[in-house]
Every structure is written in C-alpha cells, then in structure tokens.
Chain A
Amino acid sequence: MIPHDILTLYGAKGLEYVIAIAFLVLFVPFWRYAMGTRPAPEPAFVRAAQAAPAHSDLVEWFRVARDVFYHPGHAWARAAEAAGAVLVGADDFAQKLVGPLRTIELPAPGTAVRQGEPAWRLHAGDKALDMLSPVDGVVTAVNREVLDNPDLLRDDPYGAGWLLQVQSPRFAAQRKGLLSGRMAHRWIEDATNALRLRMSPDLGLAMQDGGVPVDGIAQALAPEDWDRVAREFLLS
C-alpha cells in the first residue's frame, strides 16, 4: 500500500465516508427496483398443443400437477381456454406404471366419451390397456404429436403430453367428483404405498433410497401379466 501523508488522508477518508453514506442511501431504492416486477402480462390464448407446463409437486415418486383434476383411474382433466373445452390426459403415475409406450390409440374427434368409461388405449410391449375418461363430453381434438412420439407422455404428461380436448359443458359440476390439491396428494401416496407392498427386495432397495423409479413399474413387478397389475390401478 502506498502510504499517504496525513493531509491527503483526511480527504481520502472523508471521501470514503461519503461514498459509504451514498451507498446506504441508494441501497434501499435500488433493492426495491431490482426486486420489484411489473405484473405478469395476461396469458394470451395459446394453441392447446403449446400448453404451458403445469406447476407440479413431487409426491413420493410421482409428479402431481396442481391445476388439474384427477379421476381415480389416473386420468386428469383441466379447463382449457375456450368455453367448455377441457384438456384430458394420463397422469405421471399411469405413465410410469405402464412404462414406455409403443403407441396410443386415441378416439377420433366427434367421439363421445363418458366419465368412468374407457376412452383411449395404451399399447406397451405386447399388451394393451384402456384408461377411463375423467369427464363426459365430445372429443374435439387429439394431440397428434403424442401419436407420433409417445415419449411426450413421459416427458410432460400434464403439458405437451395432453391426449384429448373434449367439449364438456358440465365440467364445472363433474369436477367436484374428481380429486385435486391435498386429496390428490393423499391418493397418490396411497397408490405408492400399494405399490411398495408389492416390491421385490431388489427393487425396493433402489426405490427407498430415493432413486428414480424404473420405467414401467408394473412390468418390473410382474413381467408376465403386468397388465393385470396395471389395470388394478387404472381401474379398467
């Protein structure tokens, strides 16, 4: 350090005090400036195919989205932008249970679906299983991208992996019978416990450590007749 003489030192130290006070005075307004934000712009209507990723929580091993309503058969429904339109899909539990899909059979637009009745079919390995529709209505659109690339269902089951758009005028009433929020969390926990009871020691060790569940839990549990296990959960 280059030593100063005492005369310039008064000036230098005085300047330092001034700078420090200036900093303190300016800090609070700056903090408020940096931390504040303008209100988020109103979300414009987006094509259903580019639906924003849903906010989700991790419950045990499975993602549970916050803004959807679940049918006990592990299908979900969410109101879309247009009046009466509902997006429908399979939840994370279902896709992890069944595992990588060969293909998905979706109903053509115009088909009527009823809550609790089979609406679409998943093909994995050499087996096929149906999933139940969560709402009543008429199919107005299907997600073509999921047909071409079933992995979308695994990567983003609540967003880009949606399956059907259904015109469901009575959705507001019907969704009261569906699960959401804390109830949905509890339901997934119960399902997970049910799975745990069936775990073989090898699989169990991996899971209890918090590892990623094997894709295709049903197949890992019962390689020969995994569709029977899956149907127990999917209620189909």
Chain B
Amino acid sequence: MRLTRRTFFKLGGAAGALTLAGPAPAAAATSKVPGGSMKAVLVDTTKCVGCRACEAACAEANGLGGPELAGDDRVFATPRTTSTRAFTVVNRYPGHGGTPDRFVKRQCMHCVEPACASACLARAIEKTPNGPVVYHGERCLGCRYCMVACPFEVPKFEYESATPFIRKCTFCPERQAKGLEPACTSVCPTGALTFGTRADLLLEARQRVYGSPEKYAQEIYGELEAGGTSWMYIGDRPLEKVGLPASVPNVAFSSLTQPALAAVPFVLTLWPPLLMGLYTFSQRRKGVDAAATTDTHEVRHE
C-alpha cells in the first residue's frame, strides 16, 4: 500500500517526514494519474443491455449460488444493492420520452486510496499494488467501520451469521494473477466493460466523452470521486441520476482523518511537559501557602 502510506506522511505533516524518492515508478504516461498503473475497468453505460451475464459469471466464480431471478426482468423493478450473496448487481433506469433504458452495473469501486482500507483497524481490507482491494476475513473484527467509511455503501455484513464476515466484490485477484480478466468483464458481450490500466482507461474514457459530446454526458464518474476509483463510469445521462452516489468529495477519504491522527504524536510529546509544568507550579504555590500559614507537616502527596 505504498500509495496510501506516502500520502499519509505527506498530509500528516509529521516533522522530519520521510522523503520517498520520486514519483510512482511507472511508465511516463501513467505517472500523472493516481493509480495509473493499476488495473481498472471502464463501464460504458451506453453499451450495457442488462443481460446480467456479469452477475452470473461473478456468482459462479465466487461460489455464490447464482444471481436472483436469473433471466427474469422482474428483477429490475426496483434498484438493488449488492449483498452478501451478490457481489455485483445490474440496475435498470427507465428512459424518458423515447430515450432508451439504461443499465448500470454496481460493485466495489476499488478506489485508488480506499476509505475502507484506511478505516480498518486490523488491516483486514488492503489495497493491493495491482488494483484489487482485498479482504482478509481472518483478521476482521466485524466492527463494521469499513461500512461507515465507504461512500459507495459497498461492504456488506453477514448479520445472519454467528461468525460473520464482510462480503464484497474482490476484482478477482486470483484470475488477474493468472493473466486473466475478472469474471464479469470477461463475459460482457457488448463491450460495456473494458479492462485495462487506469491510465489507459482514463485516456479512453476522455476520448469517448470529449470526442462525442452529443452522445455522452461530460463527466467521468470515478476520475476524481473519493480521490479516484478503479471502476469508472461514463454514460449519456449524469451518473448521479442512475444510482451512483452524488456529492462524493474529490479527496481520498484517508485524508479526512489524517489531521486528527497527526495530532497523536504531538499530544504524546507535548502533554507530559505541559502537565508536569502545571504540577510543579501548583506544588510550588501550595508550598508557599503552607509556609505562610503553618510550619507543621501538611498532607503529603506521595
């Protein structure tokens, strides 16, 4: 998690901060894009037809027992969220006045600097250098702080279990390690899901969006949100209107708590001399008072 630690030191502003040499070791094109060399996915909602092959592939790859109401369009009646049994869902947003329906796939966004990973006190969620944000259940305490931290409401908790885990999309790290694409992107028939490096995909997204302004809304969701996500979205409708959370601040969420955490070493260093100074002062005052009134033994503090 080199990226996160470096940002922590920079933003924390601790005296004598370590200087890490140079920018991210990556190709020149990726050096300016946060997480540029990490794997990412571009979701083009203009191309998704709602076939839900991605849901099926994900369920099979993760042993989740099949998406609900497979092949049944009634599943689109209301937008769903991911769950402990469904790491990805596709939702339908009806078209207005002749525009076609739009389908939007939701899953973990695998942020460049994930809020969940920074929130986890046991490092049970970690950002891997290749991109996937992975969960280690054996370290998890079930405190659910990651759920509080995630602005995309991704981590889901197994409330029904007596030994609960957090469940979410894994980005198929085992498949990626073998050089394969994640299960969902590998079965998408329309090319709505494009797998690649974040820098390349951002370039691709910009080309599509700025190149065809009549076809695409002028935004790339996930370019800046929460400091940048690996799963980025483009489409013809503003993406906040198709279920993606609006007003997510464009900062890495770890930076929101870093000032508070940066104060810790200062408190640990400054409080003892401050308090002992007050103590000495008050003892001296009491000594003066005692000498002034009586010279017998006062109550002794040990």
Contact = CB atoms under 8 A, between A and B. Distances in A.
The reply to whether A and B meet directly (CB within 8 Å) is yes
B249 A189 contact: no
A3 B302 CA distance: 52
Contact of B256 (A1, A58, A186): A1
A210 B299 CA distance: 10
Given A1-B256, A210-B302, A185 B296 contact: yes
A182 B300 contact: no
A58 B299 contact: yes
Given A1-B249, A2-B249, A189 B302 contact: no
Interface string B235-265: 0000000000001011000001000000000
B78 interface: no
B300 A189 contact: no
Interface residues of A, number: 13
A189 B294 CA distance: 13
A195 to B, nearest CB: 15
B298 to A, nearest CB: 8
Secondary structure dominating the interface of B: loop
A181 B300 CA distance: 19
Contact of A59 (B247, B249, B297, B302): B297
Contacts of A59: 296-297
A185 B302 contact: no
A60 interface: yes
B249 A3 contact: yes
A210 B300 contact: yes
Nearest to A186: B296
Interface string B259-302: 00000000000000000000000000000000000111111101
Contacts, number: 22
A189 B256 contact: no
A176 to B, nearest CB: 20
A85 to B, nearest CB: 29
B294 A185 contact: yes
Nearest to A181: B294
B249 A60 contact: no
Contact of A182 (B247, B294, B299): B294
Interface string A176-203: 0000011001100100000000000000
Nearest to A188: B296
B201 to A, nearest CB: 26
Given A1-B249, A1-B256, A3-B249, A60 B302 contact: no
A31 to B, nearest CB: 19
A185 B294 CA distance: 9
B300 A60 contact: no
Nearest to B299: A58
Nearest to A59: B296
Nearest to B294: A182
21 contacts: A1-B249, A1-B256, A2-B247, A2-B249, A3-B249, A3-B250, A57-B298, A58-B299, A59-B296, A59-B297, A60-B297, A181-B294, A182-B294, A182-B295, A182-B296, A185-B294, A185-B296, A186-B296, A189-B296, A189-B297, A210-B300
Given A1-B256, A2-B247, A210-B300, 17 more contacts: A1-B249, A2-B249, A3-B249, A57-B298, A58-B299, A59-B297, A60-B297, A181-B294, A182-B294, A182-B295, A182-B296, A185-B294, A185-B296, A186-B296, A189-B296, A189-B297, A210-B302
Q: Which 7 pairs of residues, A with B, have the shortest CB-CB distance?
A: A185-B296, A182-B294, A58-B299, A59-B296, A185-B294, A189-B296, A60-B297
Interface of B: 247, 249-250, 256, 294-300, 302
